[in-house]
Amino acid sequence: MISGIWTIAKKEGLHIRRDPRSIAMMFLLPLLMMMLYGYAINMDVKNVKIGVIDHDWSPESREVVSRFDGSEFFSVHRYYPSRDEVRKAIESGAIKGALIIPADFSVRIGRGKNPPIQAIIDGSDSNTGKIMQAGMQQILGSVVFGAGNLPVLFTVEPRVWYNPDMEGVNFIVPGLVAVFLMMIATILTSITIAREKETGTMTQLRLSPAGPAQIIIGKVLPYTFLAFMVGSLMLVFALLYYRVPFYGSPWLLAGLSIAFLLASLSIGLLASTVANSQQVAMAGGLLGTMLPSIILSGFIFPIRSMPQVLQWVSTVIPAKYFLEIIRGIMLKDIGIQYLLGQLFALLLFTLIVLAISTIRFRRQMRI
Amino acid sequence: MNHDYAVDVEDLTKRFGRFTAVDHIDFSVRRGEIFGFLGANGAGKTTTIRMLCGILLPSDGKGSVAGYSIMTQSERIKQVIGYMSQRFSLYSDLTVRENMEFFGGTYGLKNQKLKNRIERVTDLYGIGDFLDQLTGDIPLGWKQRVGLASATLHDPQILFLDEPTSGVDPSARRQFWQTIYQLARGSGTTIFVTTHYLEEAEYCDRAAIMHKGTILDLDTPASLKSRYSKSNMEDVFVHVIREHEGELTV
Ligand SMILES: Nc1ncnc2c1ncn2[C@@H]1O[C@H](COP(=O)(O)OP(=O)(O)OP(=O)(O)O)[C@@H](O)[C@H]1O
Ligand SMILES: [Mg+2]
């Protein structure tokens, strides 16, 4: 059994080595996507329109507003009388955020206290939101009023609407890793089997004493390893280039990603029992994994704000669970005890999909 | 079932939905025999071979290969047979040696034993020059020999060849058949071969004429020719099919 698996895996390794262009693509494409993503961030954030609610209407409050208006980050769109008006303006897209200056702003500056300014950020666009947050902090931190000789510092309490967990890059990058891992594992698996059907070597393989389990495990192993390498590379890139923090245990993440990879691979196997050509396998794999993983997993759109039906659908998207795992471990250092539910969901998913594909595979083996 | 037979089949039938691809056929192949299956496209040759090799479950009937039941012992069968298909089915992005190492490996051959076997078939089929070339890059006639080498690495008792010479030029075909001949006579390997080059039937000890899923006649080429008083197998084949179709339309 073991030596049979090893024989298949070794052969699969040869195929991979003979096709350096595909490997290069597999490693470069994710990095390219991550770079593009970073480029998009830097482009986006200039002269973002914000609104102001000024309850104080003092020289001090106007000074703050003019600092914002004068910065390259923001331009002040207009003043609003109430939060309701601000909310409507954000919903309509007229502004991306607002500053609320409390009524006692100048009075408290006079007393040498730190008066809080509330910042509201439209969290539905988390890239911009993240940058806005940093920009506001930077501007408010630089505003210094002379009260005696004491500098007064501001406290920013950003309230993020629509996407309260927004973490910007930190949030998106682990998501990218999840989506790519899933895509690579699924597509490679389905293509490797479809290719053998297409060229006729599958028949030869089935005629050899290697059993279905050996064939499948032997084929899956090298690609799991590859997907692992790609995932690790993406993470290292994220840590170095975007300085995304990694608070939790890399070992826990590595272990749980195996569960996620298994789920992805099982989808690939299922696709391969349907597809007879590499193109179909590729297209099916892309549609079946990439779109749901991007749209329904919480990668970009928070699940909480989806319509109820889509929320139900999201419970059968493996990427949703892996996103919770990778974000939880990297950003919040949560332990295995909080991730058992996700682990269980991934394993259950794998088991069900694997059962369906094995039944289909067996049936095709001997019609 | 008689265990002296390499292949023994009774009422073997395969239906795909409503369509019957193989229709209650009976035949036996003796050990060491070169047994030919003649038939036009779609006659059911490949379907029969797939059932015998244990990768397709019969709809009806029974059969044994090397004494093992094709219904229940396909794993045992796979160990003792070799197969080479009409579609060239080695990995074209692997070298000849890597292909042989791989397929040998699936039969549990390894290390020195694997090396020895590869050396032996390399000499036997004269493919030494191609060992380290990518299989996709070598000429078709040689590919067939490489396929044969790879299919016989594990010393199969029975070799199934499904249109092994299709698309190969006549001189390469003659060479190929000489090799098959040596294999059968030299090491006693049973050969089960399908072809639609009817003149190739002359190389067989016995040949079955298959048509639309049934076997119309089965005998040695010599007695087939004398029974139908024809000078070659092509005429025999045409005659048998005409006779059969005539019966149907009357
Ligand atoms: N999996 C399948 N499903 C449905 N029909 C099939 C299947 N496999 C074969 N057939 C049909 O069964 C018939 C016999 O096919 P088979 O491949 O056995 O013919 P053959 O004698 O090998 O012909 P060829 O010379 O073309 O290889 C054909 O009509 C074919 O279309
Ligand atoms: Mg055929």
Q: CATH no. for residue B146?
A: 3.40.50.300
Is A213 in the same domain as A306?
yes
Number of structural domains, chain A?
Answer: 2
Residue among B57, B78, B110 minimizing CB distance to A367: B57
How far is Cα A237 from Cα A179, in angstroms, rounded to an integer?
A: 16
Distance B45 CA to ligand 2 centre (A): 5
In tens, the pLDDT along A275-324 reads: 778 888 878 877 777 778 888 888 777 777 778 888 888 888 899 999 98
pLDDT of residue B93: 93
Tokens of residue B2, six digits: 């008689």
Q: Do A14 and B93 touch (CB under 8 A)?
A: yes
pLDDT of residue B219: 93
Query: Which chain residues have CB less than 5 Å from ligand 2, an ion?
Result: B 46
The pLDDT confidence band at residue A123, using thresholds 50, 70 and 90, is low
Q: Do A7 and B88 touch (CB under 8 A)?
A: no
Confirm or reject: Cβ of B50 under 6 Å from ligand 1.
no
The label of the residue with tokens 């500098």 reads A151
Q: Do B78 and A199 touch (CB under 8 A)?
A: no
Spell out which residues of chain B touch residue A211, defining contact as CB-CB under 8 Å.
75
pLDDT of residue A168: 60
pLDDT of residue B153: 92
Distance B171 CA to ligand 1 centre (A): 29
Is A173 in the same domain as A216?
yes
Distance B42 CA to ligand 1 centre (A): 5
Residue among A7, A15, A200 minimizing CB distance to B85: A200
Spell out which residues of chain B touch residue A200, defining contact as CB-CB under 8 Å.
85, 87-89
pLDDT of residue A165: 46
Query: Do the Cβ atoms of A97 and A103 come closer than 8 Å?
Result: no
Q: Does residue A86 surpass a pLDDT of 70?
A: yes
Chain A residues whose C-beta is within 8 A of a chain B C-beta are: 3-4, 7-8, 10-11, 14-15, 18-19, 199-201, 203-211, 365-367
Among the residues of chain A, which ranges form H helices? Answer: 2-17, 20-44, 59-70, 83-92, 105-110, 126-142, 169-199, 201-207, 212-241, 250-274, 278-285, 291-295, 308-314, 318-332, 340-365
> Which domain does B98 fall in, by range?
5-213
Average pLDDT over all residues of chain A: 81
Please name which of B35, B90, B95 lies closest in space to residue A203, comparing C-alpha atoms: B90
pLDDT of residue B249: 61
Has residue A43 been placed in a domain?
A: no
Residue among A18, A207, A208 minimizing CB distance to B93: A18
Has residue B225 been placed in a domain?
A: no
Is A144 in the same domain as A254?
no
pLDDT of residue A155: 45
Angle at A263 (CA atoms; ends A262, A268), nearest 5 degrees: 90
Partners of B69 in beta bridges? B64
Tell me the ipTM for this assembly. 0.85
The identity of residue A194, as a single letter, is: A
- Of B57, B59, B106, B153, which to mutate for an interface test with A (greatest number of A Cβ within 10 Å)? B106
Among candidate residues A99, A134, A161, the one where a domain is terminated = A161
Is A177 in the same domain as A300?
yes
In tens, the pLDDT along A250-267 reads: 999 999 998 998 898 888
Number of structural domains, chain B?
Answer: 1
Residue among B78, B85, B98 minimizing CB distance to A209: B78
In tens, the pLDDT along A37-84 reads: 766 554 456 788 899 999 999 888 888 898 888 888 889 999 999 988
**In this structure, is the dihedral angle defined by the CA atoms of residues A244, A249, A252 and A255, taken in order, positive or negative?**
positive
State the pTM of this model: 0.76
Q: Closest residue of B to A5, CA-based?
A: B106
Bridging pattern class, strands B68-69 and B60-65: antiparallel
Is A57 in the same domain as A204?
no
Has residue B25 been placed in a domain?
A: yes
Q: Closest residue of B to A10, CA-based?
A: B102
Tokens of residue B192, six digits: 């089960």
Percent of chain A with pLDDT over 90: 14
Has residue B36 been placed in a domain?
A: yes
Is A15 in the same domain as A115?
no
Query: Which residue has a Cα nearest atom 11 of ligand 1?
Result: B21
Is A155 in the same domain as A240?
no
Q: Closest residue of A to B156, CA-based?
A: A208
How far is Cα B35 from Cα B179, in angstroms, rounded to an integer?
A: 15
pLDDT of residue B155: 92
Q: Closest residue of A to B53, CA-based?
A: A207
- What single-letter DSSP state applies at residue B70? T
pLDDT of residue A267: 87
Query: Which residue has a Cα nearest atom 7 of ligand 1?
Result: B16
For A96-118, what is the mean pLDDT?
82
Query: Do the Cβ atoms of B43 and B211 come closer than 8 Å?
Result: yes
> Which domain does A112 fall in, by range?
48-161
pLDDT of residue A150: 37
Among candidate residues A161, A185, A210, the one where a domain is terminated = A161
Distance B47 CA to ligand 2 centre (A): 7
The pLDDT confidence band at residue A212, using thresholds 50, 70 and 90, is confident
Confirm or reject: Cβ of B211 under 6 Å from ligand 1.
no
Beta-carbon contacts below 8 Å between A and B: 74
Is A89 in the same domain as A224?
no
Has residue B228 been placed in a domain?
A: no
Has residue B196 been placed in a domain?
A: yes
Q: Do A206 and B89 touch (CB under 8 A)?
A: no
For A165-170, what is the mean pLDDT?
56
Q: Does residue A156 surpass a pLDDT of 70?
A: no
pLDDT of residue A367: 45
Query: Do the Cβ atoms of A85 and A122 come closer than 8 Å?
Result: no
Query: Which residue has a Cα nearest atom 28 of ligand 1?
Result: B42
For A161-185, what is the mean pLDDT?
69
The label of the residue with tokens 């003659």 reads B174
> For residue A120, what is the domain's CATH number?
3.40.1710.10
Q: Closest residue of A to B103, CA-based?
A: A208
Instruction: Of A6-15, A24-33, A122-131, B77-86, give the lowest mean pLDDT range.
Output: A122-131
Ordered per-residue pLDDT tens for chain B, 250 residues: 456 799 999 999 999 989 999 999 999 999 999 999 999 888 999 999 999 998 888 999 999 999 999 999 988 999 999 999 867 789 999 999 999 999 999 998 888 999 999 999 999 888 999 999 999 999 888 888 899 999 999 999 999 999 988 878 888 888 889 888 888 988 889 999 998 888 888 899 999 999 999 999 999 999 999 999 999 889 999 999 998 888 766 5
Is A254 in the same domain as A312?
yes
The pLDDT confidence band at residue A160, using thresholds 50, 70 and 90, is low
Chain B residues whose C-beta is within 8 A of a chain A C-beta are: 16, 53-57, 74-75, 78-79, 81, 83, 85, 87-94, 98, 102-103, 105-108, 110
For A161-188, what is the mean pLDDT?
71
pLDDT of residue A166: 46
pLDDT of residue A302: 72
Q: Does residue A331 surpass a pLDDT of 50?
A: yes
Query: Do the Cβ atoms of B7 and B158 come closer than 8 Å?
Result: yes
Backbone angle region of A145, left / alpha / beta, with phi > 0 → left and psi within -120 to 50 → alpha: beta
Is A234 in the same domain as A348?
yes
pLDDT of residue A43: 46
Has residue B80 been placed in a domain?
A: yes
Among candidate residues A143, A161, A179, the one where a domain is terminated = A161
Please name which of B231, B76, B94, B214 lies closest in space to residue B156, comparing C-alpha atoms: B76
Q: CA-CA distances (angstroms) from residue B244 to B180, B196, B211, B221, B229?
A: 32, 18, 9, 19, 17
Bridging pattern class, strands B5-16 and B19-30: antiparallel
Is A182 in the same domain as A219?
yes
Has residue A42 been placed in a domain?
A: no
In tens, the pLDDT along B53-62 reads: 988 889 999 9
Residue among B16, B55, B92 minimizing CB distance to A207: B55
Is A285 in the same domain as A304?
yes
